[in-house]
Amino acid sequence: MMMGAMKEDPHGRPPSGRRRFEILEHTADAGIVAYGATMADAFAAAAEGMYALMVDLDGVRERLSRDVAAAGVDERQLLEHWLLELLFLTETERLLFRRFDVRIDGTSLRARAFGETIDQERHLLGGDVKGITRHLTLVEREDGGYRVRALVDM
């Protein structure tokens, strides 16, 4: 079953007004394909997609923010490290995020993530994302924007 699936236009862009990510299922993993006008927008959408695997994002409020930094040897590794940094904050501080302001300079990233502490009574937690599968990660430029893909361990 595919959740959050979208029909694409001939150039691979999601329809306007729709979420900028889709969920791909793969055995014990789930894949996220995210889109953005810029690489930073696509990385933000990938993070949003990852959290959508864990919880209904409509139930997550923007009560706090955390600064996040990541770096990689290339854009693919940068995407992996970005998502792993967010998972680290979720595991260590029990935080859920719903919005991300991302800035990328080469293979370094600085971001602010907005969300709140997990509330067991309000947040119906779904999938447990354990990590990022390091194969099949993709960062590519498309007509008018970027498309990124990451596989997460569930």
pLDDT of residue 92: 96
Domain boundaries, the chain: 29-153
pLDDT of residue 26: 55
pLDDT of residue 125: 84
pLDDT of residue 81: 98
Question: What's the whole-model pTM score?
Answer: 0.82
pLDDT of residue 10: 47
Amino acid at 76: R
pLDDT of residue 5: 40
Q: Domain 29-153 is of which CATH architecture?
A: 3-Layer(bab) Sandwich (3.55)
pLDDT of residue 105: 98
Per-residue pLDDT of the chain (154 residues; tens, 9 = 90+): 333 443 444 445 555 666 788 876 656 678 899 999 999 999 999 999 999 999 999 999 999 999 999 999 999 999 999 999 999 999 999 999 999 999 999 999 999 999 999 998 999 888 788 889 888 899 999 989 999 999 988 7
Instruction: Print the SS3 string covering the chain.
Output: CCCCCCCCCCCCCCCCCCCCEEEEEECCEEEEEEEECCHHHHHHHHHHHHHHHHCCHHHCCCCEEEEEEEECCCHHHHHHHHHHHHHHHHHHHCEEEEEEEEEEECCEEEEEEEEEECCCCCCCCCCCCCEEEEEEEEEEEECCEEEEEEEEEC
pLDDT of residue 28: 66
pLDDT of residue 70: 99
pLDDT of residue 19: 74
